[in-house]
């Protein structure tokens, strides 16, 4: 399987999969979208990634080095749905780059092309880290990647018409391989269907929905709020009445809450790579889901 190499420059992930004279400068907000651009653009794009695989994409500082890369970008590919709300508007404004402003051709929001889940009935910030549009972590379900890839290939062709046919050809190839991979993943993950789990944060909702798993207990008292020892003790007590099979956390989160609950409940704590590059096995988009499913299956008795 073809792999892409991630190199890190200062606080910025730099994705080198380009020819010496790439046609487009692309800045991706997260590694998964940088990986998708690489699948579709091949050597026609020079791709920088604003966040590293183990950074929380909610909380990034728009440093001068990152602003400098945004200044020269032809296309800005981000998750959207308020995931980057704390830093992306500043990055766009300070870059002075008219091409990547919201609503322009050089602005691409992946979440716009899929149906979001867990939309709040009311907006109440006292409930914690609540996203008005819904849960933003859409790439957890690999089926969401297909409509996003189609829209992204079209956008690449609009910005770079000379290579529009090339992007569509790569899209067709990716689409075929991705559909085959989804079928393989679903067959491999069949033993996980219906399984109740505890989650450290609501960033696995799309993944669990896809695999038919159920998050029945959250380790956070409110979304995005670090749990206290007293609250985790309450969680352990609740687990006696509401049994689960494992405790899940993303690779960019502190391991302490999940490990504490695991130690006091006898459950396995499973670290899942949240994006491309977050583990040795998650070297590209295909490897990301391969690794996630194998880690979930590996936690079964």
Mean pLDDT of 43-69: 95
Which of 132 and 145 is assigned the larger pLDDT? 145
CA dist., res. 105 & res. 164, Å (int): 15
Q: How far is CA 260 from CA 107, 128, 161, 220, 228, in A?
A: 42, 22, 54, 13, 11
Of 10-14, 26-30, 72-76, 157-161, the least confident: 10-14
On the question of a common fold for 5-182 and 190-298, the answer reads yes
pLDDT band at 21, cuts 50/70/90?
very low
Look at residue 23 in the predicted model and tell me its pLDDT. 81
Higher-pLDDT residue of 30 and 133 is 30
pLDDT, mean of residues 50-70: 94
Question: CATH classification of 190-298, choosing from 3.30.420.40, 3.30.160.100, 3.40.50.1980, 3.40.50.1820?
Answer: 3.40.50.1980
Residue 132's pLDDT band, with cuts at 50, 70 and 90, is confident
pLDDT of 301 reads 87
Among the listed residues 229, 105, 116, 67, the one whose alpha carbon sits nearest the alpha carbon of residue 48: 67
Query: Domain ranges in the chain?
Result: 5-182, 190-298
Q: Is the pLDDT assigned to residue 128 strictly greater than 70?
A: no
Res. 16 pLDDT band, cuts 50 70 90: very low
Residue 243 has pLDDT above 90, yes or no: yes
Q: Is the pLDDT of residue 4 over 80?
A: no
pLDDT band of 192, cuts 50, 70, 90: very high
Residue 123: pLDDT band with limits 50, 70, 90 = low
d(C-alpha 213, C-alpha 192), whole Å: 7
Local confidence band at 224 (pLDDT 50, 70, 90 cut-offs): confident
Whether 39 has a pLDDT exceeding 90, the answer reads: yes
Spatial distance between the Cα atoms of 48 and 46, rounded to a whole number of angstroms: 7
The whole-number pLDDT of residue 120 equals 85
Paired tokens of 45:
């794009």
Query: Residue 210 to residues 56, 86, 96, 216: CA-CA distances in angstroms?
Result: 23, 28, 40, 16
**Looking at the predicted structure, is the pLDDT value of residue 105 above 70?**
yes
What's the mean pLDDT when you consider all of the chain? 91
Spatial contact of 32 and 276, defined as CB atoms under 8 Å apart: yes
Residue 17 has pLDDT above 50, yes or no: no
Is domain 5-182 classified as CATH 3.30.70.20?
no
């Amino acid at each position: 399987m073809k792999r892409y190499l991630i190199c890190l420059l200062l606080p910025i992930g730099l994705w080198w999969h380009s020819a010496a004279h790439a046609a487009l400068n692309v800045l991706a907000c997260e590694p998964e979208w940088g990986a998708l651009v690489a699948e579709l653009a091949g050597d026609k794009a020079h791709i920088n990634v604003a966040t590293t695989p183990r950074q929380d994409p909610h909380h990034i500082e728009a440093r001068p080095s990152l602003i400098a890369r945004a200044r020269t970008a032809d296309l800005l590919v981000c998750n959207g749905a308020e995931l980057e709300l704390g830093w992306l508007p500043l990055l766009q404004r300070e870059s002075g780059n008219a091409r990547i402003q919201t609503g322009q051709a050089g602005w691409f929001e992946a979440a716009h092309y899929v149906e979001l889940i867990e939309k709040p009935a009311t907006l109440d910030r006292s409930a914690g880290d609540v996203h008005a549009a819904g849960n933003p972590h859409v790439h957890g379900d690999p089926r969401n990647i297909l409509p996003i890839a189609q829209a992204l290939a079209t956008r690449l062709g609009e910005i770079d018409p000379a290579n529009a046919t090339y992007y569509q050809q790569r899209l067709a190839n990716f689409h075929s391989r991705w559909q085959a991979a989804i079928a393989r993943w679903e067959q491999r993950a069949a033993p996980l269907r219906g399984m109740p789990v505890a989650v450290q944060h609501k960033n696995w909702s799309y993944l669990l929905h896809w695999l038919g798993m159920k998050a029945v207990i959250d380790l956070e008292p409110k979304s995005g709020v670090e749990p206290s020892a007293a609250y985790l003790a309450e969680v352990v007590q609740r687990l006696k009445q509401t049994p689960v099979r494992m405790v899940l956390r993303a690779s960019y989160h502190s391991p302490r809450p999940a490990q504490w609950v695991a130690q006091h409940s006898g459950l396995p704590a499973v670290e899942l790579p949240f994006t491309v590059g977050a583990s040795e096995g998650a070297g590209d988009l295909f490897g990301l889901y391969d690794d996630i499913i194998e880690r979930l299956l590996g936690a079964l008795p």
